[in-house]
Chain A
Amino acid sequence: MNAVINEWILLLVLGSSLLPGLIIFGLAEERRGLRTTLNLFGALFKLFLVIWILWGVFNQQHYETRLELLPGLEFVLRAGPLALLFVSLSTILWLVTTIYAIGYLEGSPHRSRFFGFFSLCVTATVGVALSGNLITFLIFYELLTLSTYPLIVHRGTEVARKAGHIYLLYTIIGGAVLLLGTVWLYTITGTLEFTPRGFLADLDKTYHPALVIIFFLMIAGLGVKAALVPLHGWLPNAMVAPAPVSALLHAVAVVKAGAFGIVRIVYEVFGVDFAASLGVTRPLAWLAAFTIIYGSIRALYQDDLKRRLAFSTVSQVSYIALGVAIAGPIATIGGVVHLVHQGLMKITLFFCAGNLAETLGIHKISEMNGVGRRMPWTMTAFTIGAFGMIGAPPIAGFISKWYLGWGALETGQTWVLLVLLGSSLLNAAYFLPILHAAWFRQPPDKWPHEHDFGRKETAWALLLPPLITAVSALFVGLFAALPFSPLEWAELIAEREFYQP
């Protein structure tokens, strides 16, 4: 019985968001209660399953699902440490974002359609996390593109349609490039299983030039979603989507899937030592560093709040790529743990931006003067997120930067320290003025478009999620040394990659 559960539970994790999503598609617009129930039930059930799996893995259980897809290739889902890290993040953040979305879209049209695609998007993300080989990863990666497109064009305006076009232009080409790299790799090696330390080190030297090209093809394909410069162009444009979509895209689903893919490729396809010996990690590190600085500089010039946050995402997600490319165990810890930390911090910031837009009609930073007095809780959460981005202790972002810097020193790549320092300064340069304006300037006589929520600052569904994620960002930083923290987890992953036989 146990064996049966172990084989199928991962499919159940996928189903816990797929089935509610499909049912929600068929619901009439007015069935608000049923839709909310289905959404929350799905999210909670998924959380329950993930906790079960975590507990099982802690007790040496092994969860794997295999289905033959092509002769010689299987569809594989496996609950390894890296998978569990991403799945847990996705599940928790999905729950929080669902609550937020229910509040945000109150009164908006086409909610059934929205939540249907929303659930599909989460299914695809969880599939990306749990993939056990490259072809399964590719399937869910493309499904992610397909399920997020309707969310971007959700509003049905001409602007949304064009933003959808740009999104597809980047992501479909990225997917095609990734497909090419994957098939090519398959024709060389005959296997695509994710293996710690990679499975390419033993190949004949004549294949090395091909492997280098394959590496860059895959990084290009993944780099589109991970918003590596110059493939990041879709991200600022995608801000036309509703705030819950931006929150989900930037903290959890699309961008993280790309970064996660880069982690998988370097650690479990090529193996970090082999990749370093091929000479491909250096260019990746430079590209990541360039993206970090470029994103931050572009963020400085944005007045639209969501666009500034978008460029900040471009910059911050490359920390993960940088951690990977430095190719040392400490930097690995920094890069991998930033998957979680950046997720928590960025989703907080986007939730707050959504609150400002929904409650007061604020879209631009120039309109944010004195808003801290009108919406103190929201701005507190925003402040925590912003300080985390800058890297101020004890918030999560500090931990990631610390490990990245230490890792750079460990491998002798001291130039990375300059990049980290520069990035922190730039982060401060574009976040601190916002905080200053919000807390210390005089509010205007009238907000652009105020909604009345009575004595509350804003709706509970809009207020709780950013508070929860902000506190989480604080806690994972404060209590990083505790067992079961994301940091411990990242250390476990680094250990498997570098030290275990």
Chain B
Amino acid sequence: MPVFILNIPWAALLIIVPLIGMLLAFLFSSAARWMGFITVFLNLIAVLGLAQELSSNGVFQHTVGGWSAPLGIELYADGLSLLLLFTTALVSLGVAVYAAGYFSHSKASSFWPIWLMLLTALNALFLSSDIFNLYVTLELLGLSAVALTALAGGRAALLGAMRYLLTTLGGSLLYLLGVALLYHAYDTVDIQLLSQRVEISPVTWTALGLMFLGLSLKTALFPFHFWLPPAHSSAASPVSALLSALVIKASFYMMLRLWLELFSDFGVIDQVLGLLGALAVLWGSWQALRQTRLKLLVAYSTVAQVGYLFLAFPLAGGNQVFAWYAAGYLLISHALAKSAMFMATGNLLQYGNHDRIADLDRVVQRLPITAGAFAVAGVSIMGLPPSGGFIGKWWLLESALVSGRWDLVTVLILGGLLAAAYIFRVLGYTFTEAPVPHEAKRVPPAMQWIALILASASILLGFLAPQILPWLNIGDALIVVEAGS
């Protein structure tokens, strides 16, 4: 093993580098774009370094400042965190390239610092190992996300951002209440200690309910999804990409973590989550089908796709670890595909100054790369082979059939059909002429190609499952730990 890789605190770098980048981008606003690029690039290197460390040493743990649990902050990285960090790094790279072309100078000087703050919060969240630190990073994440949403300016963006702000604060507050309850009951906030101490009791039930309610609100699980379409659709396109791809995944990651480590014995909650997930899939897809504007369609598609993630909860009950793999895989594929989709939509908006679906004037010929990006990303969203979305769907179907959950099988099949309906509705209109042809504005090639590249990455995932699974298994993240053991 090369000596220079040893002893570099990759995990700490993952938090420090974006933080410094943010400060530098704020201070040197004329070079904000370059600060952003360098930071994102270094972030990817740090993730790769962490991956190397995990593959040789197993799970990573680091005590910050030497103050360990039960009260200190510890950093913890296993396969699941690594996968999310890597996805974040990839999507960040894509968004950086896209945003460089998208934002004018004045907006750029605001965008880059806030975006790097968001990246810091995301990385820190995925590396946290106690529930209070998770709260802090979650709050940071939410506030940066709101600020980015409002960045677009204009009434719709501000209204969407306001609703988002209230929702995210409300969600965090509920979560914090749960943290307080757990701390009061078990004297620690460290997850590993808690997993040993947690037992089924009214206090824990209440804490679980509050935390999951707050996090469901932040993940936009049906029926708490009302804030998402206005926020994601009115934000600037790179911001929408970030919000749909990464921000809502962070709160889902927290729910997954908490469930696996602490709450897996609390039977009925997984069924409730599954039911809400199923409703999300159907309702979100149906609403997407009814939209006349492309950005709203893509936002509702996110609502539906989030539902798929929650279907893993009831399915994983009967020792079906594949359901968790499916959730992880869908998470990554969706991050790549949805960011590509929002980028493509942003390109279309910039090209024709509107995003009315019926008036996509022969875009397949005039903006072929963008149309191609939308189509390729759509393949993963629909769950058609070969794509990451297909692999996730296959695993979910397999778990559902083995468990005899025919209701969920129906939801999975119907969800795929509805997704095909709204994706192809858009694609059909890209071939036809609009009644009023619009004057086309140039879209920089970089913005088009990065959308296609991210979309192709989600397709590539369809072939990489055997390579990715061993990483996911580092630290046995997805094996349920019995409470009290």
List residues of A whose CB falls within 8 A of some B CB.
25, 67-71, 75, 110, 113, 138-139, 142-143, 146, 149-150, 153-154, 156-158, 160-161, 164-165, 168, 172-173, 175-177, 179-180, 183-184, 186-187
Does B166 belong to the interface (CB within 8 Å)? no
Pick the interface stretch among B26-34, B228-236, B339-347, B378-386: B378-386
Tell me whether B428 and A184 are in contact (CB under 8 A): no
> How many A-B pairs fall under 8 Å by CB?
79
Who on chain B is nearest to A70 by CB?
B465
Task: From the candidates B364, B385, B401, B431, name the one contacting A187 in the complex (CB within 8 A).
Answer: B401
Query: Which residues of chain B have a CB within 8 Å of any CB of chain A?
Result: 362, 364-365, 368, 379, 384-386, 391, 394-395, 397-398, 401-402, 409, 413, 416-417, 420, 424, 427-429, 431-433, 462-463, 465-466, 469
Residues of B within 8 A of A168 (CB): 420, 424
**Complex A-B, nearest 8 residue pairs according to Cβ-Cβ distance, in ascending order:** A139-B385, A68-B466, A183-B397, A156-B431, A172-B420, A161-B428, A187-B401, A153-B431
CA distance A459 to B475 in the complex (A): 68
Whether A183 and B417, one on each chain, are in contact in the complex, defined by CB atoms closer than 8 angstroms, is: no
If over half of B's interface residues share one DSSP class (helix, strand or loop), that class is named, otherwise mixed; here it is helix
From A70, A113, A156, A177, B466 is in contact (CB under 8 Å) with A70
Asked if A138 contacts B385 (CB within 8 A), the reply is yes
Which residues does chain B contribute within 8 Å of A67, judged by CB atoms? Answer: 463
A172 touches B417 (CB 8 A): yes
Q: Report Cα–Cα, A186/B397, bound state, in Å.
A: 11
Q: Is the CB of B433 within 8 A of A156?
A: yes
Most buried by B among A161, A183, A187: A183
Given contacts A161-B429, A168-B424, A176-B416, contact A187 B386 (CB under 8 A): no
Nearest CB of B to A145, in Å: 8
Assembly CA distance A186 to B400 (angstroms)? 12
Question: Do A180 and B432 touch across chains, with their CB atoms under 8 A apart?
Answer: no
Please give me the residue from chain B that is nearest to A165 by CB atom. Answer: B428
Select B413's contact among A75, A138, A149, A180, beta carbons within 8 Å.
A180
Q: From residue A210, how far is it (CB to closest CB) to chain B in Å?
A: 10
Q: Verify B362–A69 contact, CB threshold 8 A.
A: no
Q: Give the shortest distance, in Å, between A123 (CB) and chain B (any CB).
A: 12
B311: min CB distance to chain A, Å: 15
Distance to closest chain A CB from B127 (angstroms): 28
Partner pick for A183 among B365, B398, B463, CB 8 A cutoff: B398
Cβ–Cβ contact A158 & B394, under 8 A: no
Are A143 and B385 in touch, CB under 8 angstroms?
A: yes
The answer on a CB contact under 8 Å between B368 and A113 is yes
Task: Name B402's closest neighbour in chain A (CB-CB).
Answer: A187
Once the chains bind, are B466 and A69 in contact (CB under 8 Å)? Answer: yes
A-B contact pairs, 18 of them (CB 8 A): A69-B465, A71-B466, A71-B469, A75-B463, A113-B364, A113-B365, A139-B385, A139-B386, A143-B385, A146-B384, A149-B424, A154-B431, A156-B362, A161-B431, A161-B432, A179-B397, A183-B401, A184-B401
Q: How far is the CA of A172 from the CA of B362 in the complex (A)?
A: 24
Shortest beta-carbon distance from B432 to chain A in Å: 5
Tell whether, in the assembled complex, residue B417 and residue A176 are in contact, meaning their CB atoms are under 8 Å apart.
yes
Given A146-B379, A158-B432, A160-B432, 20 more contacts at CB 8 Å? Answer: A69-B463, A70-B395, A70-B465, A75-B463, A113-B365, A154-B431, A156-B362, A156-B431, A157-B432, A161-B429, A164-B428, A172-B424, A175-B384, A176-B413, A179-B413, A180-B413, A183-B397, A184-B401, A186-B398, A187-B402
A168 to B417, CA, bound (A): 10
Question: Smallest CB-CB separation from A167: which chain B residue?
Answer: B424
Which A residues are in CB contact (< 8 Å) with B462?
A: 69
Instruction: Give the chain A neighbours of B394 by CB distance below 8 A.
Output: 70, 183
Report how far A272 CA is from B244 CA in the complex, Å.
Answer: 50
A180 to B398, CA, bound (A): 9
Chain A min CB distance to B365 (Å): 6
Q: Which residues of chain B come closer than 8 Å to A179, judged between CB atoms?
A: 397, 413
Q: In the assembled complex, which residues on chain A have CB atoms less than 8 Å from the CB atom of B364?
A: 113, 150
Which residues in A have their C-beta under 8 angstroms from that of B429?
161
Contact A160 B431, CB 8 Å, known A139-B385, A146-B384: yes
Given contacts A69-B466, A70-B466, contact A142 B384 (CB under 8 A): yes
A29 to chain B, nearest CB (A): 10
Q: Tell me the bound Cα distance from A129 to B362 in angstroms.
A: 34
- Residues of chain B contacted by A175 (CB below 8 angstroms): 384
Q: Smallest Cβ distance from B426 to chain A, in angstroms?
A: 11
A75: nearest residue on chain B (CB-CB)? B463
CA distance A142 to B382 in the complex (A): 11
Residues on the B chain within 8 Å of A153, using CB: 428, 431
Most chain A CB inside 10 Å of its own CB: which residue of B362, B385, B433: B385
Residues of A within 8 A of B385 (CB): 138-139, 142-143
Contacts of A70 in B (CB 8 A): 391, 394-395, 465-466
A residues in contact with B466, CB < 8 Å: 68-71
Q: Which residue of B lies closest to A186 (CB)?
A: B398
Contact A110–B365 (Cβ < 8 Å): yes
- Give Cα A131–Cα B379 distance, bound, in whole angstroms: 21
Q: Which residues of A contact B402 (CB under 8 A)?
A: 187
Question: A residues within 8 A CB of B409?
Answer: 180
CB distance from B57 to the nearest CB of A (A): 25
A173's partner among B417, B428, B465 (CB-CB below 8 A) is B417
A161 vs B416: C-alpha distance when bound (angstroms): 21
A149 to B463, CA, bound (A): 24
Cα A187 to Cα B395 with chains together (Å): 11
- How many Å lie between the Cα of A126 and that of B413 in the bound state? 27
Q: A69-B463, A69-B466, A139-B385 known; A187 and B398 CB under 8 Å?
A: yes
Tell me how far the C-beta of A489 lies from the nearest C-beta in chain B, rounded to whole angstroms: 30
Task: With a 10 A CB-CB cut-off, give which of A113, A153, A173 has the most chain B CB atoms.
Answer: A153
- Chain A: minimal CB distance from B415 (Å): 10
Chain B residue contacts of A187, Cβ below 8 A: 398, 401-402
Q: Are B384 and A165 in contact (CB under 8 A)?
A: no
Task: Please give me the residue from chain A that is nearest to B384 by CB atom.
Answer: A142
In the bound assembly, the distance between CA atoms of A180 and B362 in angstroms comes to 35
CA distance A187 to B398 in the complex (A): 6
Give Cα A403–Cα B392 distance, bound, in whole angstroms. 45
Q: Which residue of A lies closest to B469 (CB)?
A: A71
Min CB–CB distance B196 → chain A (angstroms) = 31
- Chain A residues with CB below 8 A from B420, complex form: 168, 172
Residue picked from A113, A143, A146, A165, most chain B C-beta under 10 Å: A146
A153 CB to nearest B CB, Å:
5
Please indicate the chain A residues that have their CB under 8 angstroms from the CB of B398 in the complex: 183, 186-187
Whole-angstrom distance between the Cβ of A131 and the nearest chain B Cβ: 12
Chain A residue at minimal CB-CB distance from B465: A70
Nearest chain B CB to A42 CB, angstrom units:
20
Minimum distance in angstroms from B419 CB to a CB of chain A: 10
Most buried by B among A71, A158, A176: A176
Neighbouring B residues of A113 by C-beta, 8 Å: 364-365, 368
Residues of B within 8 A of A75 (CB): 463
How many angstroms between the C-alpha atoms of A398 and B466 in the bound complex? 50
| Chain A residues positioned under 8 Å from B397 (CB to CB) | 179-180, 183
Residues in chain B near residue A68, CB distance under 8 A: 466
Cα distance A57–B5 in the bound complex, in angstroms:
51
Q: Which residues of A contact B362 (CB under 8 A)?
A: 156
Bound CA–CA A161/B424 (angstroms): 10
Instruction: State the Cβ distance, B401 to closest chain A Cβ, in Å.
Output: 5
